A and B are shown apart, each in its own frame.
Chain A
Amino acid sequence: MASAEASPVLELTGIGKEFGAIRALHDVDMQVFPGEVVGLMGDNGAGKSTLVKIIAGNFRPTHGEMRFAGSAVHFSRPVDARAVGIEVVYQDLALSDNLTAAANVFLGRELKRKFGPIALLDHKAMAARALELFGELRSETRPDDLVKQMSGGQRQAVAIARTRLSNARLVMMDEPTAAISVRQVEQVLGLIHRLKEQGVAVMLISHRMPDVFAVCDRVIVMRRGEKRADKPIHETSPEEVTALITGAKEAA
């Protein structure tokens, strides 16, 4: 469970990013602890996506240092970030519609059985493990169903199950509740609780204030490429966060 005295799983110091003359991020410090859910909020263009992409290995920061689980890390590709245990659940979920749930969970890391020189897919083992993961996430998802036949909540479960497969230590979720129904939002927030229970740090990037206040332990507000607030959720209010996002209040 989350404990304040534990060492941070992710630590950013002085992270900055420039695209030519545009300063997208400036001097961002941030820590994320195991089993903690951090909400990352901000208006469009506030630098949220840039920050997420730096952590996920899509961009290299222009300034600053990134430490993961205590050691300095430099990612040049998303695969590098995944290798140390950072997983991203993308807004469009990055699923292949024409494949089954189990196939999507294991995409790129299929389980195989060797028959002499030939390695064939182990369909049974993958379906069983996928069912186990959906069980842990309490999602009513059949491993053999095609993703294209699934609801938004089930698709989220598939995308999240993928992160559980690798035993990720930090899961970043980009707008997971943006385009789904009320019931499915409940399911997704439940999924985030499951990750937290298992000691995974979660970063929730969202525009939806109620969701952030429902699951997050801490909220970080970005504005104009800078971190303007970093507060435990019980010490702030939706009103204050809104003011910070819009700039009505400069910093907290």
Chain B
Amino acid sequence: MAMPMESPISFTNVGKIRWWQRGIFASQTGYVLLALAVLLVIMHFASPYFFTQGNIQNVAKNFSFIAIATLGVTFVIIIGGIDLSVGSMMCFSAMITSMVMTELSTPGGLGASLFVHMAADGKTVLANVPGLILLVSILAGLGVALIAGLVNGFCIAVLGLSPFVTTLGMLSIVRGLGYVVSNGRGSFPGGPDADYFYALTSGDVLGVPAPFIYLVILALTMAVVLHHTSFGRHVFALGGNEKAAELTGIPVVRVKIEVYVICALAAGLQGIIISGWLGSAPANMATSYELNVIAAAVIGGANLAGGIGGPLGAIVGCVLLEVIRNGLVLAQVSSYWQQTLVGVIIILAVLVDRIRSRMT
């Protein structure tokens, strides 16, 4: 060819994308974040109570209660899937955790002799190793989530079933199992480790609610995993073009299963935290939470078609939902309006993004 190989490539025909047209500025997450900021300012003027320490703590705690599960669902949405079983999963994990805790803490219970003994007075139960019961019961709760996630992943990635149908089935299966193991009565965390359990789930550190701390740690981890590891790269590639991902040699089946397991584990952890706050794990706990969780992810900018989403968006979506709920309460609007408004916001958020992508 006539062209010498040494000449550097020039970009005469290819313009550089402006900074405000790329990254967060060009994403739905950016717009929703802006809307959230405006909403916060409005709330400040509308109600003198909004920015009080107590209310902010309350808001932070409340959105943390769905945000961890939203992080998990965001993973699934990025690969172009959906997980409807998160609500049931929260309940079942919480239930198993508190049942195992109670069982291990009851002298004479299954395997309890390893963990507890009676005090000299014959009434008080003491732990052999403080905290061990808590650890084992939380692992049991997460263990059932892991199994459910593996089953979801196997059915979707290996058997090729549709994610919607598979996880709809899992929603029912897991909820049903929750009723079976508890006889519909729900369960309560008990025994010598219950105080640790409450401290870890509904306590706070220097005024910051514990669930919020977990959320921040998990969200930062998720950001690193998504953007700085090859697993995260593969997750995005899978959502962008599954066939391409397969052709380039990405282990599609493995990545999919891992993503559904992550989602189930996040839901399980979320359920365990909620049960600590509620003080029990009723059999109807977190019913239809999957809709809130998915709504939060979508409002925050995760695209149900796959390929787009992130931890910031998940959190922003959850905060927006909670601030609106909180705001309606402060403004003394009937709480029945909340659901209606949430629906309007879901559609608005997606609509704004649609208009924006049409314009560029």
The chain A residues found within 8 Å of chain B, CB to CB, are 78-79, 82, 88, 90, 92-99, 103, 107-110, 112, 118-121, 123, 131, 134-136, 138-142, 145-146, 149, 154, 162, 190, 193-194, 197
Contact = CB atoms under 8 A, between A and B. Distances in A.
Interface residues of B, number: 34
Nearest to B21: A149
A109 B250 CA distance: 9
Contact of B241 (A95, A109, A135, A190): A95
Contact of B229 (A107, A119, A194): A119
Contacts of A194: 1
Interface string B3-35: 101001111111011000010000000000000
Contacts of A141: 14
Given A97-B241, A120-B228, A197-B1, A110 B233 contact: yes
Contacts of A88: 247
Nearest to B26: A146
B307 A149 contact: no
A146 B307 CA distance: 12
23 contacts: A79-B249, A94-B241, A96-B245, A97-B307, A99-B233, A99-B236, A107-B248, A108-B245, A108-B249, A110-B233, A118-B229, A119-B229, A120-B229, A121-B229, A121-B230, A121-B233, A138-B9, A140-B9, A140-B10, A140-B13, A142-B11, A145-B17, A194-B1
B12 A140 contact: yes
B240 interface: yes
Nearest to B305: A98
Given A90-B247, A119-B229, A96 B236 contact: yes
A82 B12 contact: no
Contact of A103 (B1, B233, B247): B233
B244 interface: yes
Given A98-B239, A108-B249, 10 more contacts: A82-B249, A96-B244, A98-B236, A107-B233, A107-B244, A107-B245, A109-B249, A121-B227, A135-B9, A146-B22
A140 B14 contact: yes
Contacts of B247: 78, 88, 90, 94
A109 B229 CA distance: 12
Contacts of A98: 236, 239-240, 307-308
Interface of B: 1, 3, 5, 8-14, 16-17, 22, 224, 227-230, 233-234, 236-237, 239-241, 243-245, 247-250, 307-308
Given A79-B249, A97-B307, A119-B230, A139 B237 contact: no
B9 A108 contact: no
A145 B14 CA distance: 10
Contacts of B5: 136
Nearest to A90: B247
Contacts of B224: 120
Nearest to B232: A121
B223 to A, nearest CB: 12
A194 B1 CA distance: 8
A193 B1 contact: yes
Contacts of B245: 96, 107-108
User: Which residue among A94, A108, A110 has the maximum number of chain B CB atoms within 10 Å of its CB?
Assistant: A108
Nearest to B5: A136
A151 B358 CA distance: 18
Nearest to B12: A140
Contacts of B244: 93-96, 107
Nearest to B6: A135
A108 B241 CA distance: 13
Contacts of A162: 248
B8 A135 contact: yes
Given A99-B237, A107-B245, A108-B250, A190 B1 contact: yes
